[in-house]
Chains A and B, each alone.
Chain A
Amino acid sequence: MVDVADGATARMGAPASPATSTLTAGAAVRAGARTAPPGVGGRRGNRASLRKGLEIAFFVTPALALFLFFVVWPIVKAVQFSVYRWKGYGPLVDFVGLRNYVSVLTNEVFTDALVHNLVIVVLSIGIQLPLGLAIALLLNRTMWGQGLLRTVIFVPYVLAEVIAGVVWYQLLQPQYGVIDTMLQAVGLSGPAQGWLGTPDYALLTVVVVLTWKYLGLAVILFLAGLQSVPEELYEAAQIDGATWWQVQRKITIPLLGPTLRTWAFLSMIGSLQLFDMVWILTGGGPANATSTMATFLITEGTKRQNYGIAAAASVVLFVVALVLALGYQYFVLRRDNQDTVVTRKKATK
């Protein structure tokens, strides 16, 4: 029986039976103190280590238990459900292998939903990044009402998606909604079925509402990132006679890179999981024009009781999110270190 302290001592190059000499025993205690895992303490003369292990266990266990029970376990179950045909009652007996995945991935409703998610990812970043950056750069200066402005910009983000959705739903009503009314006042007219009721416009309309809801977050985060750009760089650039735009393009935006990239990452993950806003605005309709992977799996699971199909869809959702997240980490976030090195080199030249 090799316990942890032994293992640690062995790694340190000491004999594997540490208790034979006081010297190695001391080493074992020290090693144990550094490496004892929770709940494993060990041996006589090692009570400090045991106590520490118990302390760690005491502190970590509640969170870990809650996390394993309500996060990890359901996810494992989702993977299990996904290989059975199951209507929600009786035991899991009808093993169907990967057939649920095949039926999800060949279901046009799901692939459309996946495409909608990807469209929302691209449009959210494509619209909010330049717009948010422009607003943040313009507002990054001492001006009257600055604090108030920042508060106001952030308000939509704090509202529940449901509440924002219900208000926008009313604004977007065909004919008597305020948006159509304002269009009529300038001689235009919205689509007859309303913005949310016309398949061609519905997804774009949802994107507009999402932009309204989340642009403030982007602006606030970008402004925060701008605060960490060293003042000396601005001063140096000004002394060199750089214009405002040159400073933004050559100094501010490159230095804001890490913030922008991390924000885009969070935005991407959020768009892939989109549910609340779509559910309120359109319920995934009209004719599935605004369905997302999340609305698909909720419809399958709770309305049609196709738990196997819903579970397979949720696993696909997770895999898509994971692949995009890892790809993003690999191709985009990885460069952050190189970027800072380059910037530093340029700065020292």
Chain B
Amino acid sequence: MSADALTDLSIAPTARERRRRRSTNAFQGGNPLVYAVALVVVALTLGPVLYGVLGGFRTNAQLAADPAGPPDPWVLSNYTGVLTNPAFWQYALNSAVIAVVTTALVVVFGVMAAYPLARYQFRWREGLYMVFVLGLLFPATVAIIPLFILITRDLQLGNTWWGVALPQAAFALPMTVVILRPFLQALPKELEEAAMLDGTSRIGFFWRILIPLSGPGLVTVGVLAFVGSWNAYLLPLLLLQGDMKTLPLGVADFSSEHSSDIAGVFAFTTLAMVPALVFFLTMQKRIVNGLQGAVKG
């Protein structure tokens, strides 16, 4: 109840202010040129995606006869073929489990680390924070070969869900900490003092006040981690084989193994992009907010 009120206070005004600003923008309204540009942009953006979706409803003969034409007649066999393909569901399951584990690790460990970095005073605080900031500069690509050896030989986690989720979470942590720290710092100091006066420990404050209030920030970093994991290619490519593969690997395989079945490739690709698109459409605001936060730094 009170938590909701506080969230409202801290989040709502900016949103409302923005809306007000936009509505009084000095240069209002679209003219035909603007709409024309917008249409071109939309067409170029969606064209390839729609072509893939529609291509899945055609036969290879149709695609060969008239590559640019519409489905005529519409066939469902490509899509049903993919949907009845157990490999597709296996890949989707692998992708989902790995993404969920990665996201859980990133969010839990990330908010735990960000809490003392944001709200405790201690000597090594900035140094510790810099460790994570520097982590932003280390892409997984640089460490990929030793990582591959570490996971497959030393940990014997090659071809497992954990073997991909753990390093993915580790590489997503810097961004998470960098986004969450200012977020947690922005929560008013008075809240903490009031909680302390009421006899709450700092850990109690963390659980009962900080976590509920930082919901939006946690969702943001969670969504970024999930999308990153869902789309990841390089690490799964090295670590996963056979029926442990994730959807991006499955798409790439299907595309090279069935290179003559273009309609099938389109259907497979389309169905593989559906989860990411649905997730994105529901979480769009969060993703954009997170990326903006990263850019404003």
Contacts and interface: CB of A to CB of B under 8 A. Distances in A.
Q: Do A and B come from one complex?
A: yes
A276 B38 CA distance: 29
Contact of A158 (B63, B150, B287): B287
B49 A155 contact: yes
Contact of A67 (B44, B131, B296): B131
Output the residue of A156, A163, A227, A314 with the most chain B CB within 10 A.
Answer: A163
B189 interface: no
B140 to A, nearest CB: 8
A205 interface: no
B48 A171 contact: yes
B291 interface: yes
Main secondary structure of the interface of B (DSSP, over half): helix
B227 interface: yes
Given A231-B21, A310-B145, A66 B273 contact: no
B230 interface: yes
Interface string A6-44: 001000000000000000000000000111111000000
Contacts of B73: none
Contacts of B222: none
Nearest to B109: A63
B124 A38 contact: yes
B295 A263 contact: yes
Given A63-B113, A156-B49, A273-B139, A142 B170 contact: no
Interface in A137-153: 138-145, 149, 151-153
Interface string A176-212: 1110011001000000000000000000000000001
Interface residues of A, number: 106
A36 B139 contact: no
B280 A155 contact: yes
Interface string B1-38: 00000000000000000100111111111100111011
B48 A166 contact: no
A162 B145 contact: no
B29 A171 contact: no
6 contacts: A78-B143, A143-B29, A171-B51, A247-B27, A294-B234, A325-B137
B112 A60 contact: yes
Nearest to A160: B231
Contacts of A280: 252, 255
A172 to B, nearest CB: 10
A224 B117 CA distance: 28
Contacts of A310: 145
Interface residues of B, number: 104
Given A152-B42, A301-B148, 16 more contacts: A37-B123, A53-B122, A56-B120, A62-B113, A77-B149, A81-B146, A143-B29, A152-B46, A167-B52, A176-B64, A227-B18, A276-B233, A314-B141, A318-B137, A318-B138, A321-B139
Nearest to A153: B45
A182 B27 CA distance: 38
Nearest to A276: B233
B264 to A, nearest CB: 11
A67 B132 contact: yes
Interface string B53-86: 0010000000110111000000000000000000
A216 B68 contact: no
Interface string B139-182: 10111111111100000000000000011011101100100000
A103 interface: no
B132 A294 contact: no
A298 B234 contact: yes
B262 interface: yes
Interface stretch (A68-76, A94-102, A104-112, A339-347): A68-76
Given A158-B287, A166-B252, A59 B115 contact: yes
A85 B128 CA distance: 35
B217 interface: no
Q: What are the 6 closest A-B residue pairs judged by CB atoms, nearest first? A: A234-B26, A70-B170, A143-B30, A160-B231, A63-B113, A77-B146
Contact of B171 (A71, A166, A181): A71
Interface of A: 4, 8, 33-38, 52-53, 55-56, 58-60, 62-64, 66-67, 69-71, 73-75, 77-78, 81, 88, 135, 138-145, 149, 151-156, 158-164, 166-171, 176-178, 181-182, 185, 212, 216-217, 220-221, 224-225, 227, 231, 234-235, 237-238, 244, 247, 258-259, 262-263, 266, 269, 273, 275-276, 279-280, 294, 297-298, 301-302, 307, 310-311, 314-315, 317-318, 321-322, 325
A275 B248 CA distance: 14
Interface in B80-121: 105, 108-110, 112-113, 115-117, 120-121
B194 interface: no
A220 B34 CA distance: 17
Output the residue of A71, A138, A144, A169 with the most chain B CB within 10 A.
Answer: A71
B143 A314 contact: yes
B129 to A, nearest CB: 10
Contacts of B105: 66
Nearest to B293: A224
B219 interface: no
B34 A149 contact: no
A178 B251 contact: no
Given A63-B112, A317-B142, A143 B38 contact: yes
B170 A141 contact: no
B139 A176 contact: no
Nearest to A70: B170
B177 A63 contact: yes
